[in-house]
Amino acid sequence: MAAVARFLIRGANSKLSVPGIGAGAQSSYGATLLKLSATCNACTKPQRRHVAHFTFQPDPVPSQYGPTQKMNLFQSVTSALDNTLASDPTAVIFGEDVAFGGVFRCTVGLRDKYGKDRVFNTPLCEQGIVGFGIGVAVTGATAIAEIQFADYIFPAFDQIVNEAAKYRYRSGNLFDCGKLTIRAPWGCVGHGSLYHSQSPEAFFAHCPGIKVVIPRGPVQAKGLLLSCIADMNPCIFFEPKILYRAAVEQVPVEAYTIPLSQADVLQEGSDVTLVAWGTQVHVMREVASMAQEKLGVSCEVIDLQTILPWDIDTVCKSVAKTGRLLISHEAPVTGGFASEISSTVQEECFLNLEAPIRRVCGYDTPFPHIFEPFYIPDKWKCFEAIKRMINY
């Protein structure tokens, strides 16, 4: 409406002739439209969302790893990469735009500090990035590849699944590319839409020979990334990009590791087990507080951390105690990793279950743009699932 008004006003001022409308009429219509445009703008202007679907809950300051420094998640990733380049002369970092810091600034300053031969850009070719990384790792060097967004990892799917994951097996352990780590920003971000919001971890969970890891915050990001880099198996490290700046914690400055394939029990409880990873862990923490406050329900919150191979024992031990399980992730519900957890727990803990296992996940649709608030598994959907389990 405002654009039409401006067009008509400009036309009147510049003697532009509009068929069927004289100059005076144009000016009159323009003035009328300008008066209306303020009202219409108030009605049609989209309201900005100022509140995320989660509240980041920082962990206690770790004391066992030495001095700490305030870092957000992308800075903790940078710190881990810095530690690796400093301690391992064979380590190289490569990917699209990493030489000047990357789109999320995770490699900022590293090329200047360690040189263009150790931190360098690649062509826009994910298959080539991973294929190159496999070759580097086979020589015994430490290869850290960045895929700019997890959504674009699929061109490299063949290299990861048919080459990296099988390299050791097909050579009878004569050769391997275990020193390969693939980093990728992952998950919803509030405005990423179809191609910058996906959570593809379940695709790789079906592939023996690799490890898949997703942190929940800066402290875990640094420790788990360093564990992936040190691990003698190719690893995929998905980084929740919505947490890059939103998540801030006191992170140890020196290098440290957090064990892979070991879930973290963040809160003990007796009535319901809540399992998640990445950003969704913070949703579950808030849901646990809501359940305690509004329902008097005690929830045990578990951060899975490693998707493949996952910590079956910790989850099953918790479900045997609580009798109920809720799993939540951002990826679509059908074929999501929650399905694998549900199946395993049903097999191992069938006689302990007090209610059917519930999954609160994304819908079976492409990730939407303006409808993202309706798509994501927020605290209200998870809270409703808890009520249904308790009332079963």
Going along the chain from its start, the domains and CATH numbers come out as 63-252 (3.40.50.970), 264-391 (3.40.50.920)
Spans in the chain with pLDDT lower than 50: 1-44, 46-47, 49-50
In angstroms and rounded to an integer, the radius of gyration of the C-alpha atoms of the chain is 25
Give pLDDT, residue 51: 61
Q: Which of 89, 99, 184, 93 is nearest to 140 (CA)?
A: 89
Give pLDDT, residue 36: 40
d(Cα 98, Cα 143) in Å, to the nearest integer? Answer: 14
β-bridge mates for residue 360, sequence order: 328
Catalytic annotation, pick one of 126, 163, 201, 300: 126
**SS3 labels along the chain:** CHHHHHHHHHHHHCCCCECCECHHHHHHHHHHHHHHHHHHHHHHCCCCCCCCCCCCCCCCCCCCCCCEEEEEHHHHHHHHHHHHHHHCCCCEEEECCHHHCCCCCCCCCHHHHHCCCCEEECCCCHHHHHHHHHHHHHCCCCEEEECCCHHHCHHHHHHHHHHHCCHHHHCCCCCCCCCEEEEEEECCCCCCCCCCCCCCHHHHHCCCCCEEECCCCHHHHHHHHHHHHHCCCCEEEEEECCHHHHCEEEEECCCCCCCCCCCEEEECCCCEEEEECCCHHHHHHHHHHHHHHHHCCCEEEEECCEEECCCHHHHHHHHHHHCCEEEEEEEECCCCHHHHHHHHHHHHHHHHCCCCCEEEEECCCCCCCCCHHHHCCCHHHHHHHHHHHHCC
Let me know if 169 is exposed, middle or buried by CB neighbors in 10 A (0-12, 13-18, 19+).
Answer: exposed
280-295 vs 379-390: helix axis angle to the nearest 10? 50
- The label of the residue with tokens 């097996």 reads 169
List, for residues 92-137, the tens digit of each pLDDT value. 999 999 999 999 999 999 999 999 999 999 999 999 999 999 999 9
Angle at 332 between CA 350 and CA 356, to 5 degrees: 20
Give pLDDT, residue 74: 98
List, for residues 240-293, the tens digit of each pLDDT value. 999 999 999 999 999 999 999 999 999 999 999 999 999 999 999 999 999 999
CB atoms within 10 A of CB 87: 11
**Are 390 and 382 contacting, i.e. CB atoms less than 8 angstroms apart?**
no
Give pLDDT, residue 260: 98
Angle at 142 between CA 73 and CA 238, to 5 degrees: 35
300 catalytically annotated: no
- Would you say the C-alpha torsion 259, 262, 266, 268 has a positive or negative sign? negative
pTM for the predicted model, two decimal places: 0.87
Phi, psi of 368 (to 5 degrees): -85, 170
Catalytic annotation, pick one of 53, 146, 163, 196: 196
**Are 291 and 272 contacting, i.e. CB atoms less than 8 angstroms apart?**
yes
Q: Is the peptide bond before 218 cis (omega within 30 degrees of 0)?
A: no
Q: Which of 281, 282, 340 is nearest to 309 (CA)?
A: 340
- The label of the residue with tokens 């059908």 reads 334
d(Cα 176, Cα 288) in Å, to the nearest integer? Answer: 43
Give pLDDT, residue 52: 80
196 catalytically annotated: yes
